[in-house]
Amino acid sequence: MPYGRKLKPQPMTAGLSVSDLVDNYFAAYNAARLREACMIFADKIAQPDVTVGLTISGAMTPTGMGYALVTPLIEAGLVDWIISTGANLYHDIHYSLGFELFNTTPNTDDVQLRDDHIIRIYDILFDQKVLLESDAFLRKVMKAPEFQRKMGGAELHYLLGKYVKAAEDELGTGHRSILSSAYTAGVPIYTSSPGDSTLGMNVAALRLGGYQLQFDVEKDVNETTAIVHHAKSTGGKSAVVILGGGSPKNFALQTEPQMQEILGIPEKGHDYFLQFTDARPDTGGLSGATPSEAMTWGKIDPDQLPDTVVCYADSTICFPIVTAYALSKGRQRPLKRLYDKLPMMMENLEKAYRANNPDE
């Protein structure tokens, strides 16, 4: 009766590796979806011809997941480009600057915390001075002459990464943020809503002060599309790994309808889709939209639906397991350094657009 994988329960023993745990004990329901996600990431996505986009939403970096998980994947060549909320990039640099965050119970007296100038993110606490001093660092950096112009997210975050890395090195914090790791590895980073974070708020404040830094959101749309177009047009594949959902999820997935619907470039959709979310599909929101629904928009290649997985569980549970599983399998690839290739990829996208739209 070959309908699926035969269940062969075995007693759990001490000293299990992550791969043994996932392969042999994640038997059904969302545990099985997580097992499938681990296997697809380690065995199919972690191949040299796959371009991997990671999207990050929710308060991931205050937990330490930036340095603990994203940085090792960047350094192993397993993440090629990133779309993150600005908040995740911002809160990650608290650690870079040597500030302290603390785990506590979520059952706290928020009135007392407010009186004591303590900020709470569910069960994480930190002093309000952490925000104020991080803001001061960012504003000082973004007053530099090289920031005084309109630029896309990849360039802005690359420049910020340079300064954050210098601060990490100078202060000796031992932290490698997403920004600094991506800068070193040439991994372009975008934010889908650049004004919707403390990073954007500080840029807005600088504009009031007469500084000239501006977001080029159209460039971000075109560059992210160029990355996916390059991956597919050169005979490779495209993968998206989605932590949570929200705007970063859509910004990564819309690269395909941008090619097909707007630019008129023939394409079929992303090849791999992994998502870890607590969002339900029946509410109609984008965060809970399934791969099959995304397929109707041209976002996912219909022939690749078997290589799409949604695991309905907290990213802070799933992503450490996926990362540990892939690294325990020794998965590593040469860095693609897509940031360095952005001009070439943009030129190729423009050529493809003009070839398919000769009258425009």
**What are all long-range contacts of 28-37, with beta carbons under 8 Å and residues at least 24 apart?**
30/311, 30/312, 30/313, 33/309, 33/310, 33/311, 33/312, 34/311, 34/313, 34/318, 34/321, 34/322, 36/309, 37/274, 37/276, 37/309, 37/311, 37/318, 37/322
Under 8 Å between Cβ of 225 and 262: no
Hunting for tokens 């423009």 — which residue is that? 350
Active site residues: 299
What does DSSP assign to residue 141?
Answer: H
Which domains, from first to last, does the chain contain? 18-354 (3.40.910.10)
Round to whole Å and give the CA distance between 125 and 133. Answer: 16
**Residue 151 is inside which H or E element, if any?**
strand 150-151
Write down the pLDDT at residue 4: 79
Burial call 89-98: b when 16+ CB within 10 Å, e when fewer? bbbbbbbbbe
User: Low-confidence residues of the chain, pLDDT below 50?
Assistant: 1
pTM of this prediction? 0.94
pLDDT in tens, 127-147: 999 999 999 999 999 999 999
pLDDT > 70 in the chain, percent: 95
> 255 with 227: CB under 8 angstroms?
yes
Residue position matching structure tokens 């992994």 = 274
Listed in sequence order, the residues at least 6 apart from 157 whose beta carbon sits closer than 8 Å to its beta carbon are: 89, 179, 182, 183, 188, 189, 190, 191
Beta bridge partners of 150: 214
Query: 190 and 155 in contact (C-beta within 8 Å)?
Result: no
Each as own residue / partner, the long-range contacts of residues 67-71 (CB below 8 Å, 24 or more positions apart, any chain) are: 67/92, 67/95, 67/175, 67/176, 67/177, 68/320, 69/319, 69/320, 69/323, 70/178, 70/181, 71/176, 71/177, 71/178, 71/181
Predicted pLDDT at 85: 95
The tokens of 227 are what? Answer: 């990355």
| pLDDT at 289 (0 to 100) | 65
pLDDT for 283 equals 72
Note the pLDDT tens digit of each residue in 9-37: 899 999 999 999 999 999 999 999 999 99
pLDDT for position 298: 73
Tell me the three-class secondary structure of 183-239, residue by residue: HHHCCCEECCCCCCCHHHHHHHHHHHCCCCCEECHHHHHHHHHHHHHHHHHCCCEEE
